[in-house]
Structure 1
């Protein structure tokens, strides 16, 4: 692959969609590539120490032979005559800060005419000290850039904003303030516990003190990182085999765990802004600098299956099946591999026959949407090769250009817990199409690993083979030394290992983010109430209440520990539920199904939704304790609907 650099940016040479007829190089030569690379570096005997740089895990177990074999297969599959040069550039000085502030919903801090003025001020009022510091840093950098340019500027001193008096506190947001503390902030002790107003400790778990394998979602990750930094609390690297990786778990919260897909679009917009700020604060606190890359516009395919942007591909798919979130071709390939059996030895590691794979690519492009492709003739190794090819052929990487460097920097965090926290935030920042496709891929890879007794594909094996296909995306090859390339090999393999091993943790929205969203919604509700009062709608609302005085008084019922659950989708007008300390959302669903014999849906297909109050809409985790949630959001309504994901 050609690699060079010009004055405008890094020029990256990509790969094409179909492999060459000539086939991969001989096995003996591919097998020797790993040792040749070591010889060039003067390495003999023990594993060189820089292989472990950037990772706290023992990399001696990683089968890097397979990594370099996969790299050679990828190189050989590229057609030099159709390679396309793609430029990625680092944002200009100041440009990166402006783009960041706009994406975070804080454009008003450098542009008074921006439309996010009041919303931005509400957002600022919910930030933790580390999040506020991240905003301050970028505003100050932008200020300095404008001064250097000798241009007029009106960027305010953001510290003055954070010193503004707190918003008027009313009884309506007592529940939110109990979670956030004053100003939405929580302080962390050296033990990692959060403290609310007045120093009241918020327990990390119901079962006792937080351990090193507990992931606390109540306290900002960047605040937790600050406690590590201030207390010099760094866990030394531990050598462990993949089957002995720590069993991290999320600390259970009585108000329920929130997963991606559980919230309304309007609340998810707030989540994304907060997660961007939190991610930046986490990297800032750890002293890890990030440079955002931007893809220059390139000509991409608009039809077909391979080398097509995910968004374009999904638009095509949705014409056939509305609501499709994962490309149909990827779903079908995965389904075919699983239907034929995951016990095939060397699945994903053993390459398909190149001539057949090329023919499959062509035939799928022509016949897939017509339904004429002969799936019964597709062999397992060929299908697995097409899956890998589909991922690396995306014109923009699955992990996105914008956050690619952040993903590759995750292993710079000193502890595996912080690495997982960073990955959690980065997954939340991915566009829907990338995130949904990544989720489908990781779930498939885990199912392959579940059959390791037969297919001989352990977590290590799968991670090493998939790393170059995920990270050596079409258009990526920086001009780096061989030593750096070795470090990248071990690093990216470990990142894929973390993504697969802990994927169930990564699609969770941390509670501290939900708490900040609740506070923003409380402020929005106050604003709405003021506008209604100005238009004299309160009088009309009072009239409507009198007209409908036959409706139950929810506020008085709530005080008595009774909620009204509605299911209009199933003609259930209202179901009164007396809350107890142990009553969970799943119990309410069970009661509903026992009373509504006409409902043919399974319990797993239904969800109890929290609607209104300080959240727009939220699908509740079955283990949500309803009394605790009612205390947090006493004015919410409760509705049973089919799961909307």
Structure 2
């Protein structure tokens, strides 16, 4: 059913009747029947009028240029498992010649029981498939992959998955950019508490064992959506972009395994799709692959992470004023939008386009056009069905946990572009008193532009059409409302990364040749090095903070229970007047030890973090945005 519904949604062959967007009705002129779905929020029929009107606008506007139709392909059984294991960094489980074999073993040693079960399931399915095909791959028995751990190892694994629960506080995450921190009351966890320290799939497993795998009633109104509180650890929150590439690679592999484990635990069948190769435009702005647009932009503005055309359209809309009534809902004139689109293609990069003549509603229409005409969806073909299936989870908390993992799985270009779009949409909603665009309104209008992208064709029944409309609108609503949570890397994942780095470092030390020579070198080096000084300072309640990028090379900072990263940055700026960098462009980095490099959340408590990573060095640098 999951795959069927997923295939059914990809369509653009519609016709317009009675002011609504309909598809080959059995009774002409009727809207699809309104039904409440127990597995998802249901938007009222009046709100969905905007959805059908938006679809009609999309059809009427038509394509800017013809494009080859994209076809989805579900990998054959066996192929899907091979692809999953490879992406998870576990290719050695079916191909002994694959690279990163030793890293795979370290990765396996850090998995929780639900994550291990997800791996075992894929290995067993692959083994059975290959056996049917008489293939000669040497796939290990699942019982040989994870051996029962010793009692101490079990404790270590539990620690890695939970990360400890001391010294935490809760951060309220609501719509918009703002969050309010409050002390943890130490009471029982509630449905609105988001615990980032324990594996999401482990949490789901425990809740199902308690008999709570029942869809909870949910409120439809925007102001009735719950304000989720994030359990915040003193060692700091880690956001996307805070980590070095090597650690982010580990994060992505762990998140893939965790996401799969969460879907498995909930009993949600998930089939990933892959797009067949199609001919796409190799240059331009609209209907061009996101990666191609960014390559063009980076030649002009190095380091660009969000398409320049999208940034400029958003900037223009905000300059003209977010108070415009019906912003995003009221379309620009289709002929004028098409003409402006062609003019932008010719003049944008040369800086010759006359932005002062661009009307507000036209700019909003162009922004939506850019998103939906991407040859492949912003949410990617690979994980599109997973996004569609999120509402099958029985609770809002689990839906948000699934969305959190899926956002982390997106390619960097898609993730950054989606973030910029959602932040803009929230700013539109912040002006709802003037523009009359509430969270529901914006979600309903944007859903077809995000989920109905250029090139997909199919047919579906009236009931499926309506289910898709309500489902997609509600997913967009969750993405907008809880965006501050979705770009956070859960602490249990970070603990697993730290454990992998620790194990890899131990192995490097064990495998060094000429051990005696290296011991002597280490002794001679440590005897007179800064490391001895650093350790002495740490034992005396001090840490040494380096700032080689600036004139102040280093400074000693006394540790206290309440010392935060923000305090160190403030002290640095007060002591070095020659620093011309803005405070918001500076970051204190944790480097080495059990992490490669991490930009610290300013609310990180330094003493608590030092206990977690005693071998780290502390460096102040400019943030690479």
RMSD: 2.7
1:581 is matched with 561
Looking at structure 2, the residues matched to 70 and 460 of structure 1 have their Cα atoms a distance apart, in angstroms, of 14
Say which of 294, 299, 302 aligns to 1:322. 302
Asked whether the 8 Å contact 1:613–1:634 carries over to 2, the reply is yes
The residue correspondences of 1:415-494 to structure 2 (distance < 5 A) are 415-494=395-474
The residue correspondences of 1:129-528 to structure 2 (distance < 5 A) are 129-163=113-147, 181-183=155-157, 206-209=184-187, 210-233=189-212, 234=214, 236-528=216-508
Looking at structure 1, the residues matched to 234 and 9 of structure 2 have their Cα atoms a distance apart, in angstroms, of 51
Say which of 628, 631, 639 aligns to 2:611. 631
Residue deviations 1:571-597 (CA, integer Å, cap 9, x gap): 222211111111111011111111111
Looking at structure 2, the residues matched to 370 and 552 of structure 1 have their Cα atoms a distance apart, in angstroms, of 57
How many angstroms does 1:481 deviate by?
1.2
How many angstroms does 1:278 deviate by?
0.2
Say which of 105, 108, 113 aligns to 1:124. 108
Cα distance change, pair 338–583 in 1 and its aligned pair in 2 (3 A): same
TM-score, reference length from structure 2: 0.91
1:542 is matched with 523
Asked whether the 8 Å contact 1:565–1:577 carries over to 2, the reply is yes
Indicate whether 1:48 and 2:34 are aligned: yes
1:31 is matched with 19
Looking at structure 2, the residues matched to 80 and 255 of structure 1 have their Cα atoms a distance apart, in angstroms, of 50
2:180 is matched with none
Looking at structure 1, the residues matched to 272 and 414 of structure 2 have their Cα atoms a distance apart, in angstroms, of 18
Runs (5+) with no aligned partner, structure 1: 16-23, 170-176, 188-193
How many angstroms does 1:36 deviate by?
11
Residue deviations 1:441-488 (CA, integer Å, cap 9, x gap): 000100111111111100000000000000001122333212101100
The residue correspondences of 1:96-115 to structure 2 (distance < 5 A) are 96-115=80-99
Indicate whether 1:591 and 2:579 are aligned: no
Asked whether the 8 Å contact 2:12–2:59 carries over to 1, the reply is no
How many angstroms does 1:321 deviate by?
0.3
Looking at structure 2, the residues matched to 289 and 586 of structure 1 have their Cα atoms a distance apart, in angstroms, of 45
- SS of 2:71's equivalent in the other structure is strand
How many angstroms does 1:10 deviate by?
9.4
Cα distance change, pair 152–204 in 1 and its aligned pair in 2 (3 A): farther
Comparing 205-214 with 264-273, greater Cα deviation is found at 205-214
Say which of 557, 562, 565 aligns to 2:545. 565
Looking at structure 1, the residues matched to 267 and 603 of structure 2 have their Cα atoms a distance apart, in angstroms, of 38
Cα distance change, pair 423–11 in 1 and its aligned pair in 2 (3 A): closer
Cα distance change, pair 236–100 in 1 and its aligned pair in 2 (3 A): same
Comparing 230-239 with 384-393, greater Cα deviation is found at 230-239
Residue deviations 1:66-109 (CA, integer Å, cap 9, x gap): 00001111122225993532211100110000000000000000
Aligned residues: 603
Looking at structure 1, the residues matched to 249 and 63 of structure 2 have their Cα atoms a distance apart, in angstroms, of 41
Looking at structure 2, the residues matched to 506 and 475 of structure 1 have their Cα atoms a distance apart, in angstroms, of 28
Looking at structure 1, the residues matched to 25 and 195 of structure 2 have their Cα atoms a distance apart, in angstroms, of 42
- SS of 1:635's equivalent in the other structure is coil
How many angstroms does 1:162 deviate by?
1.1
How many angstroms does 1:559 deviate by?
2.5
Comparing 549-558 with 384-393, greater Cα deviation is found at 549-558
Runs (5+) with no aligned partner, structure 2: 171-183
Say which of 61, 77, 87 aligns to 1:93. 77
- SS of 1:618's equivalent in the other structure is strand
Asked whether the 8 Å contact 2:20–2:56 carries over to 1, the reply is no
How many angstroms does 1:62 deviate by?
6.3
2:534 is matched with 554
Comparing 536-545 with 507-516, greater Cα deviation is found at 536-545
Asked whether the 8 Å contact 1:225–1:282 carries over to 2, the reply is yes
2:53 is matched with 69
- SS of 1:86's equivalent in the other structure is coil
Looking at structure 2, the residues matched to 364 and 155 of structure 1 have their Cα atoms a distance apart, in angstroms, of 54
Cα distance change, pair 488–510 in 1 and its aligned pair in 2 (3 A): same
Looking at structure 2, the residues matched to 471 and 459 of structure 1 have their Cα atoms a distance apart, in angstroms, of 17
Asked whether the 8 Å contact 2:285–2:345 carries over to 1, the reply is yes
Asked whether the 8 Å contact 1:446–1:500 carries over to 2, the reply is yes
